[in-house]
Amino acid sequence: MARYPSSSGASYSFGPGGMTPAVKLLVIINVVMFVLNLIVPTMTLRLGLEPRAVFEDFALWQPITYMFLHSTSGVGHVLINMLSLWMFGTELERTWGTRFFTKYYVITGVGAAATTLLLAPFIDGLYYSVTVGASGAIYGLLLGYGMYFPNRPIYLYFIFPIPAKYFVMIVGAIAFFSALSGPGGGIAHIAHLGGLVVGYL
């Protein structure tokens, strides 16, 4: 909960406050694409990230378009990603400015895709799997947040406060060890790890 001054004294707002311009635009694009994908499910196969399609069919747009699609099996995937984008992205955009924030977001998202493509030939099942979601870029934002605001509390499961720097270490370790086990559970651990690494670089 953040505190903001107002003409009548003090007011309170959950989270970082109103969305900044780039965060707002990204949320709108992701939600619109989610709805369109519900109507046209084949969008996932065409715009999602499939290493085989990139290498063999030269679907070079997929490392960008995949990050604007989300699983249509429910609203949980897009909801969590957009909530995280608002919570961490808003503060970073205010700190960095819209131009640098947007560049960082795109680079970490594409970097997560590049990591997936780089490792796909060596991890069983990954070459033919389809990855969608903004999670790679979101993990990049989380890394940036942890470095710029290391002692800010992040509430694990909305209950346990953990300083951002330790929270990033925890999710990084989870992504790393999960990535070692290969694709599974419908979660793109390689992309998560790639977002963290590229964000740091």
| Segments in the chain below pLDDT 70 | 1-15, 178-187
10 domain-assigned: no
For residue 16, the model assigns a pLDDT of 77
Q: In this structure, is residue 152 part of a structural domain? A: yes
First and final CA of the chain: distance in angstroms?
Answer: 31
Looking at residue 175, what is its pLDDT?
A: 73
DSSP 14: S
What pLDDT is stored for residue 191 in this prediction? Answer: 85
Q: Is residue 38 part of a domain?
A: yes
pLDDT value at residue 3 = 42
Helix (H) or strand (E) holding 93: helix 90-96
Structural domains counted in the chain: 1
Contact criterion met (CB below 8 Å) for 4 and 17: yes
CA dihedral 159, 197, 18, 70 (to 10 degrees): -90
pLDDT at residue 72 in the model:
81
Task: Establish if 66 belongs to a structural domain.
Answer: yes
Residue 2 is assigned to a structural domain of this protein? no
Does a structural domain hold residue 136?
Answer: yes
Residues 98, 114: Cα–Cα separation, whole Å: 24
Residue 31 confidence (pLDDT) = 96
Give the number of other CB atoms < 10 A from CB of residue 41: 9
Q: Which two tokens stand for residue 116?
A: 């997936």
pLDDT digits (tens, 9 = 90+) for 1-45: 344 344 444 444 556 778 999 999 999 999 999 999 999 999 999
CATH number at residue 189: 1.20.1540.10
Q: Is 9 domain-assigned?
A: no
Establish if 83 belongs to a structural domain. Answer: yes
What is the pLDDT at residue 186? 52
Give the structural domain span for 169.
Answer: 18-200
